[in-house]
Amino acid sequence: MSSIEIIALALGALTIASALMVVLSMHPVRSVLYLILTFFLISANYVLLNAQFLAIVNIVVYAGAIMVLFLFVLMLLNLSKDNEPRASNIMKLAASLAAGALVIVLVAALKDAIYLPVVENVQGNSQGLVENLGQLLFTKYVLPFETSSVLFIAAMVGAVLLSKKEKQIID
Amino acid sequence: MLRSANFVGLLYLNLMSDVQDYIPIVLQSLVVLAFVVGTLVFAPKLGPKLSSAKKDANWECGIEADGNARFPISVRYFVIAILFVLFDVEVIFFYPYAVNFQALQLEGLMAVLIFVGFFLTGFIYVLKKGALEWEK
Amino acid sequence: MLALIILFLTALVTLFVGFAKKPLLTLSLSVLGLLGTAAALICQWYHPSDFLSSYEGVNMDGFAILFSLVAIIFTILIIFSGFEQFKSRLDHTADYIGLLIFSLFGAIVMVSFQDMFMFFLGLEILSIPIYVMAGARKDDPLSSESSLKYFITGAFATGILLFGIAWLYGATGTFKIYEIQQFFMEAEQISSLAYVGLLFILSAFLFKIGAAPFHFWSPDVYDGAPAPVTGFMAAVVKLGAFGAFIKLFTIAFSELYDFWMPALTFLAILTMFVGNLSAIRQVRFKRLLAYSSIAHVGYSLITMVVLTNNSALNLWYYLFSYGFATIALITVQMIVNDREDRIEAFKGLGRANPFVGFVAVVALLALAGVPPLMGFFGKFLIFADAISQNPALIAVALLNSGIGIFYYLRTVIVILQKPGVDNEIEQSEFKTTPLQLIVLGICVLAMLFGGGLLMVH
């Protein structure tokens, strides 16, 4: 095994372990902290895949901004009381069976990954660098780029609508 | 079209850019880490050390801690945070454009101007709606 | 493309006109913009080469134009019928209408996409305004619950969809639907990653259209959301999701038909039974509509199980007829305006307001599929197309239509009954507005004479 493979495998194992901790920790704030760790590890994976821009965006937007939102939501909820309903044993059993079946299917499918088509790598080995990304984003994929701004405006209107108090209600 | 190879190797080996590209980043991370750890380790050792019940309290700032930290906060913070995320994402799109500023010529400029125009419309809407004002 | 641009500008203009706080002005401008969009689409139909009809990622072909036009008609009807409710919140009238138009934008992108980027963006633009709109009545806990449930389950389904798209990309190396089709045609060996991706995408679609066993959100969400939003979800959102569904599965996954057809057959049967059997026990009107909508999703899925050349058109016609009936019933529900939304509150509607009662009866019969109405022709087209290929499935569907007639007729009887003699149930006043009457008129005309459309197609 080459050193890069060892790094990749170790990173993958760490990422999965930290993602598991997000689900398994009992305390929500601790979950969020593990989630931040997971985002950093995913960013490291992106760097290994030569997608540096994505790695930085992932840290800035997800680990930075969206995590703040997560913490806000946690504070909006009143967490001082432990009033979370417990799932019944049958539900737990059903959930583990379903999740287990899903894992088996995914792992079995991944065994087939060696038959993947080779994606032609036009840009040589610097694919994913910011420059190439910009070239594609503003020429070939300019329509999805502009359309995403429609999505953002819709989200803005939605956020304002949800939070504004209504002064005038005519009945 | 089919290639059978070690899966992990296939994914990573030929995509990785040169390792030496990352040396400056690694160096900087080391410096940052060394500074933070160094300050944390040496600062307590260099100064005089006093301890008392008051001083060892979690929040020692002269005011008694009162009530619970987990109280529900206003939804207003939340809206501002959401709007911040949206504009944050907008700014991130400038970076790949700035790198390609010359190569993209007028068409790229138009694309970015339209994009910014849409966001500006959204911003004016948010301002006129008074979503950033602190209403009680 | 031109249509999309006009539509987007309409949404922006609507939002900004709202600051003037003149609801009628907002309404007329937005409807004008929607009509302009429809006009642009019709021009595109006759002159496909002009008007920027295709661009990287989006192609306004005949299929997309037909689905988009119907979505626009439904949106206009819903804005009309819900205008009274929008107007009562003067601060936000324009926001509600604007969000509906944004959502329509998403629906149109979803029926005209050519690659997975646009498909995903369309889905998000379609969904996010609806998450917000479902919670528009902030004083009502049911509405907030509906919004939250829809958002959390919907976001989860979107995650599953993205995951599926990623696996599909891993297996095929492309995002474009025609290239994916090409890949499956030529590949010597299809990696099982593609099948997993397909299953994930399929689950996400089944969630969006509300098919069993991914239907649990829909009764609660339909029930809690404000009535116009319920109508929009049943008519427009379903139209967009089904359009993208049939497009993706008949183009990109056409080669894998043998893989997904058995699953879809089973789910179609399950969906029909779940919808119809649960509908029987409902006492709340919007819940009844939700389960009836699940049952209709089951019938619509038949078009995808038996894939013929007519499938897309049959599906379109079916959703067209279903949409009119649902919008008419939602409008009637708004007129009855019962606080607890009981079906019992419809008692005496036929006598108190004969026209509204008549439209409600026609709409219910159309949903049941009674012959001279549009709903019958929709069902007839689907069943006739499928009967030679899969007679057993059609037998099940006919049995289900029988169950359906039972609860639709029961509601019809409630409407025709005398006003309650017992004073337990307080009578509604059945107040109507001119706009609602226009909507009801259009719907009843469409349901009565919509069969004539068959001559054209």
Same domain, yes or no: C219 and C314:
no
Q: Calculate what percentage of chain B has a pLDDT beyond 70.
A: 76
Nearest to A169 among C55, C88, C173 (CB): C88
Structure tokens at A112: 């087939």
- Please calculate the CA angle C138-C144-C146 and round it to the nearest 5 degrees: 140
Q: Provide the CATH number for the domain around residue A6.
A: 1.20.120.1200
pLDDT score recorded for residue C457: 53
Single-letter amino acid, residue A134: G
Predicted confidence (pLDDT) per residue in B26-56, tens digit: 899 999 999 999 999 998 888 887 788 777 7
Q: How far apart are CA C158 and CA C162, in angstroms?
A: 6
Structure tokens at A98: 């379903």
Per-residue exposure over A35-60, b if at least 16 CB sit within 10 Å of its own CB, e if not: bbbbbbbbbbbbbbbbbbbbbbbbbb
Structure tokens at C327: 């919008």
Same domain, yes or no: C130 and C235:
yes
Residues of A in contact with B129 (CB under 8 A): 160, 164
Predicted confidence (pLDDT) per residue in B77-93, tens digit: 788 888 888 888 888 88
| A133 C-beta neighbours (distance < 10 Å), count | 21
Same domain, yes or no: C400 and C448:
yes
Nearest CA in chain A to C89: A169
Q: What is the ipTM of this complex?
A: 0.89
User: Is pLDDT of A98 > 60?
Assistant: yes
Q: How far apart are CA B2 and CA B9, in angstroms?
A: 15
The set of residues, in sequence order, having a beta carbon less than 8 Å from that of C121 and lying 6+ positions away, is A144, A147, A148, A150, A151, C106, C109
Bigger pLDDT: B66 or C395?
C395
Query: Is C268 part of a structural domain of the chain?
Result: yes
pLDDT score recorded for residue C349: 83
Same domain, yes or no: A47 and A4:
yes
SS (H, E, C) A122-156: CCHHHCCCHHHHHHHHHCCCHHHHHHHHHHHHHHH
Residues of A in contact with B1 (CB under 8 A): 117-118
Q: How would CATH label the architecture of B7-129?
A: Up-down Bundle (1.20)
Residues of C in contact with A170 (CB under 8 A): 87-90
Same domain, yes or no: C15 and C72:
yes
Single-letter amino acid, residue C397: A
Contact assessment for residue A46 and residue A55, using Cβ atoms and an 8 Å cutoff: yes
Q: How far apart are CA A5 and CA C249, in angstroms?
A: 37
Length of chain C: 457
- Best of A67, A149, A166, A167 to mutate (most B CBs within 10 Å, chain B): A149
Q: How far apart are CA C143 and CA C139, in angstroms?
A: 8
At residue A17 the predicted structure's pLDDT band, cuts being 50, 70 and 90, is: very high
Q: Tally the domains of chain C.
A: 2
Q: What is the dihedral of CA C245, C250, C256, C257, to 10 degrees?
A: 90
Query: Is C183 part of a structural domain of the chain?
Result: no
- Which of C185, C216, C244 finishes a domain? C244
Region of C16 (left: φ > 0; alpha: ψ -120 to 50; beta: rest) is alpha
* Nearest by Cα to C96 from C137, C35, C38: C137
- Please calculate the CA angle C97-C205-C220 and round it to the nearest 5 degrees: 60
CB contact under 8 A, A152 and B16: no
Same domain, yes or no: C259 and C238:
no
Length of chain B: 136
Query: Is A8 part of a structural domain of the chain?
Result: yes
DSSP C113-152: B-BHHHHHHHHHHHHHHHHHHHT--TT-HHHHHHHHHHHH
Say which range, A44-58, A109-123, C283-297, C389-403, has the weakest mean pLDDT. Answer: A109-123
Alpha-carbon torsion C330, C334, C335, C338, what sign?
Answer: positive
* Nearest by Cα to C128 from C85, C162, C87, C98: C98
Interchain contact B81–A (C-beta under 8 A): yes
- Which of A51, A79, A107 finishes a domain? A79
Q: Mind telling me how many Å the CA of A162 is from chain C's nearest CA? A: 7
Interchain contact B128–C (C-beta under 8 A): yes
Residues of C in contact with B125 (CB under 8 A): 15-16
Same domain, yes or no: C370 and C230:
no
Helix A142-163 to helix C116-134 angle (10° resolution) is 10
* Nearest by Cα to C365 from C320, C321, C319, C314: C321
Nearest to A9 among B8, B70, B90 (CB): B8
Query: Is A170 part of a structural domain of the chain?
Result: no
Query: Is A138 part of a structural domain of the chain?
Result: yes
Please provide the average confidence, as pLDDT, over all residues in chain B: 79
Q: Chain B: list its partners (3+ Cβ pairs within 8 Å).
A: A, C
pLDDT score recorded for residue B105: 84
- Inter-CA distances, C176 with B17, B62, B83, C331, Å: 28, 64, 32, 40
Q: How far apart are CA A160 and CA B80, in angstroms?
A: 9
pLDDT score recorded for residue A82: 60
Q: Tally the domains of chain A.
A: 3
C96 by Cβ neighbours in 10 Å (0-12 / 13-18 / 19+) ranks as buried
Query: Is A154 part of a structural domain of the chain?
Result: yes
- Best of A160, A166, A168 to mutate (most B CBs within 10 Å, chain B): A160
pLDDT score recorded for residue A114: 64
Same domain, yes or no: A75 and A92:
no
Same domain, yes or no: C230 and C352:
no
Interchain contact B125–C (C-beta under 8 A): yes
Structure tokens at C348: 């005496």
Bigger pLDDT: A70 or B116?
B116
Q: How far apart are CA C300 and CA C68, in angstroms?
A: 18
pLDDT score recorded for residue C8: 94
Interchain contact C55–B (C-beta under 8 A): no
Beta-bridge partners for B2: A117
The set of residues, in sequence order, having a beta carbon less than 8 Å from that of B108 and lying 6+ positions away, is A138, A139, B97, B100, B101
Nearest to B125 among C16, C188, C189 (CB): C16
Nearest CA in chain B to C186: B1
User: Is pLDDT of A152 > 80?
Assistant: yes
- Quickly tell me which residue has 């641009």 as its tokens: C5
Q: How far apart are CA B59 and CA C316, in angstroms?
A: 65
Residues of C in contact with A106 (CB under 8 A): 196
pLDDT score recorded for residue B6: 42
Same domain, yes or no: A136 and A67:
no
Query: Is A67 part of a structural domain of the chain?
Result: yes
Residues of C in contact with A113 (CB under 8 A): 170, 191, 193
Interchain contact C46–B (C-beta under 8 A): no
- Quickly tell me which residue has 């980043």 as its tokens: B25
Structure tokens at C224: 């809690």
- Which of C214, C244, C274 finishes a domain? C244
Helix (H) or strand (E) run with residue C243 in it: helix C238-247
Alpha-carbon torsion C65, C71, C77, C80, what sign?
Answer: negative
User: Is pLDDT of B10 > 60?
Assistant: no
- Which of A79, A100, A133 finishes a domain? A79
Task: Please identify every stretch of chain C with a pLDDT value under 70, giving residue numbers as ranges.
Answer: 49-55, 420-429, 455-457
Interchain contact A26–C (C-beta under 8 A): no
Q: Mind telling me how many Å the CA of B46 is from chain A's nearest CA? A: 32
CB contact under 8 A, B92 and A76: no
Residues of C in contact with B128 (CB under 8 A): 16, 19
Give chain A's radius of gyration (CA, Å). 22
pLDDT score recorded for residue A51: 81
Structure tokens at C66: 């037909």
DSSP B40-81: HHHHHHHS-----TTTTSSS-SSS---S-S--PPPHHHHHHH
Query: Is A171 part of a structural domain of the chain?
Result: no
**Residue C43 φ then ψ, to 5°:** -60, -40
CB contact under 8 A, A137 and B93: yes
Same domain, yes or no: C223 and C356:
no
Nearest CA in chain B to A53: B96
Residue B47 DSSP class: S
Interchain contact A111–B (C-beta under 8 A): no
User: Is pLDDT of B5 > 50?
Assistant: no
Same domain, yes or no: A26 and A72:
yes
Query: Is C363 part of a structural domain of the chain?
Result: yes
CB contact under 8 A, C15 and B2: no
Query: What range does the domain containing C100 cover?
Result: 1-162+200-244
Q: Mind telling me how many Å the CA of C219 is from chain B's nearest CA? A: 29
Interchain contact B2–A (C-beta under 8 A): yes
Domain extents in chain B: 7-129
Q: How far apart are CA C290 and CA C297, in angstroms?
A: 11
* Nearest by Cα to C396 from C225, C241, C277: C277
Q: How far apart are CA A30 and CA A45, in angstroms?
A: 23
Interchain contact B121–C (C-beta under 8 A): yes
Nearest to A157 among C15, C135, C195 (CB): C15
At residue B1 the predicted structure's pLDDT band, cuts being 50, 70 and 90, is: very low
- Quickly tell me which residue has 């108090």 as its tokens: A165
CB contact under 8 A, A171 and C56: no
Contact assessment for residue A70 and residue A31, using Cβ atoms and an 8 Å cutoff: no
* Nearest by Cα to C191 from C210, C176, C172, C207: C172
| B88 C-beta neighbours (distance < 10 Å), count | 15
pLDDT score recorded for residue B9: 44
Alpha-carbon torsion B20, B22, B25, B30, what sign?
Answer: negative
User: Is pLDDT of A120 > 90?
Assistant: no
In terms of average pLDDT, the best of A144-158, B59-73, C183-197 is: A144-158
Predicted confidence (pLDDT) per residue in C180-223, tens digit: 999 999 887 788 888 999 999 999 999 999 898 899 999 999 99
Chain A, 60 to 89: residues with Cβ < 8 Å from chain B are: 60-61, 64-66, 68-69, 72-73, 75-80
Nearest CA in chain A to C184: A117
Q: How far apart are CA C2 and CA C55, in angstroms?
A: 11
Contact assessment for residue C322 and residue C329, using Cβ atoms and an 8 Å cutoff: no
B62 by Cβ neighbours in 10 Å (0-12 / 13-18 / 19+) ranks as exposed
Same domain, yes or no: C284 and C335:
yes
Same domain, yes or no: C279 and C144:
no
Interchain contact C185–B (C-beta under 8 A): no
Same domain, yes or no: C306 and C361:
yes
pLDDT score recorded for residue A73: 78
Nearest CA in chain B to A1: B9
Secondary structure of residue C433 in the 3-state scheme = coil
- Please calculate the CA angle C36-C38-C39 and round it to the nearest 5 degrees: 60
Nearest CA in chain A to C85: A171
Q: Mind telling me how many Å the CA of B116 is from chain C's nearest CA? A: 15
Query: What range does the domain containing A138 cover?
Result: 125-165
Contact assessment for residue C136 and residue C268, using Cβ atoms and an 8 Å cutoff: no
Q: How far apart are CA C321 and CA C341, in angstroms?
A: 24
Interchain contact A165–B (C-beta under 8 A): yes
CB contact under 8 A, B85 and A145: no
Contact assessment for residue C364 and residue C411, using Cβ atoms and an 8 Å cutoff: yes
pLDDT score recorded for residue B2: 38
User: Is pLDDT of A170 > 60?
Assistant: no
The set of residues, in sequence order, having a beta carbon less than 8 Å from that of C120 and lying 6+ positions away, is C161, C162, C165
